[in-house]
């Protein structure tokens, strides 16, 4: 999740069938009567999206996971009495 280059946004062409599949997988994962678990649909979405990432973006994702950047920042509060 890199916001540092927001002024120089790049674009990636996505096949329209893949985009439709992504939307369908999202809806299926949220549906109450889905035949598979949410994890199944998330994995399918991740597999589809990962194919569009550049090597640099894949490295960014790897760093994001390895550094556990998905955790919120820790806020330490010191009591003063």
Residue 61 lies in a domain: yes
Please name which of 69, 75, 80 lies closest in space to residue 1, comparing C-alpha atoms. 69
Number of domains comprising the chain: 1
pLDDT digits (tens, 9 = 90+) for 29-79: 999 999 999 999 999 999 999 999 999 999 999 999 999 999 999 888 888
Residue 80 lies in a domain: no
pTM, two decimals, is 0.75
Query: Angle 44-20-33 (CA atoms, 0-180°, nearest 5)?
Result: 60
Residue 43 lies in a domain: yes
Residue 78 lies in a domain: no
Residue 8 lies in a domain: no
Residue 71 lies in a domain: no
Residue 58 lies in a domain: yes
Q: Which domain holds residue 18?
A: 13-66
Secondary structure (3-state) at 78: coil
Residue 3 lies in a domain: no
Q: Please report the DSSP string for 33-54 in residue order.
A: T-SS-HHHHHHHHHHHHHTT--
């Amino acid at each position: 999740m890199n916001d540092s280059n927001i002024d120089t946004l790049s674009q990636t062409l996505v096949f329209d069938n893949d985009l439709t599949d992504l939307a369908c997988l999202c809806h299926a994962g949220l549906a109450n009567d889905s035949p598979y678990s949410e994890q199944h649909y998330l994995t399918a979405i991740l597999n589809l999206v990962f194919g569009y990432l550049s090597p640099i973006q894949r490295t960014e994702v790897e760093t994001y996971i390895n550094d556990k950047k998905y955790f919120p920042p820790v806020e330490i509060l010191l009591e003063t009495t």
